């Protein structure tokens, strides 16, 4: 199985967590689609933050803005009572006792800690949806 790219992972998160990740069609104004994440916070950090664009000029991630993706996913894990961890070379999501999903960011195309955490969250949500016992 090929590791998912960041836009593939974000598209799947938009399906699984529409309250956290969304696609915004900006084709008419800018000729692109923007992938955004929702971050809870105070002041300037509150709300939807653009992290990836796809369109006529190509696909572009905003590496400095991937912290918003990681922050939004950390907040989601905490809200759901999940264990999460981002460490050297890997990210992990799960419950405390029974099971967990670990993703190495070295195995991902252009892997980053935020991307690894996003893949782990997708895999965890998919496993819950499918009722997989792990």
User: Degrees (nearest 5) of the Cα angle 8, 90, 95?
Assistant: 90
H-only helix segments in 5-65: 6-16, 27-30
pLDDT value of position 57: 66
Digit-coded pLDDT (tens) for 92-128: 888 867 777 888 877 787 778 888 899 999 989 988 8
Taking only the tens of pLDDT, the chain with its 134 residues reads: 578 888 889 999 999 999 999 988 887 877 778 888 888 877 666 788 888 777 766 666 777 788 888 999 999 999 999 989 888 888 888 886 777 788 887 778 777 888 889 999 998 998 887 765 43
| CA–centroid distance for 30 within its chain | 24
Q: Is 33 helix (H, G, I), strand (E, B) or coil?
A: strand
Q: Tell me the angle at which helices 66-80 and 113-130 cross, rounded to the nearest 10 degrees.
A: 40
User: Degrees (nearest 5) of the Cα angle 118, 122, 126?
Assistant: 170
pLDDT value of position 99: 76
* In the chain, where the domains are located: 6-130
């Amino acid at each position: 199985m090929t590791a998912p790219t960041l836009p593939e992972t974000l598209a799947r998160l938009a399906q699984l967590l529409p309250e956290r990740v969304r696609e915004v069609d900006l084709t008419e104004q800018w000729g692109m689609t923007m992938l955004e994440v929702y971050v809870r916070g105070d002041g300037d950090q509150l709300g939807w933050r653009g992290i990836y664009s796809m369109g006529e000029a190509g696909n572009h991630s905003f590496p400095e803005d991937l912290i918003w993706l990681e922050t939004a996913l950390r907040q989601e894990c905490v809200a759901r009572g999940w264990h999460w961890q981002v460490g050297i070379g890997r990210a992990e999501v799960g419950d405390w006792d029974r099971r967990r999903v670990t993703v190495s960011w070295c195995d991902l195309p252009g892997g980053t800690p935020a991307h690894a955490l996003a893949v782990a969250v997708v895999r965890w949500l998919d496993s819950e949806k499918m009722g997989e016992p792990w």
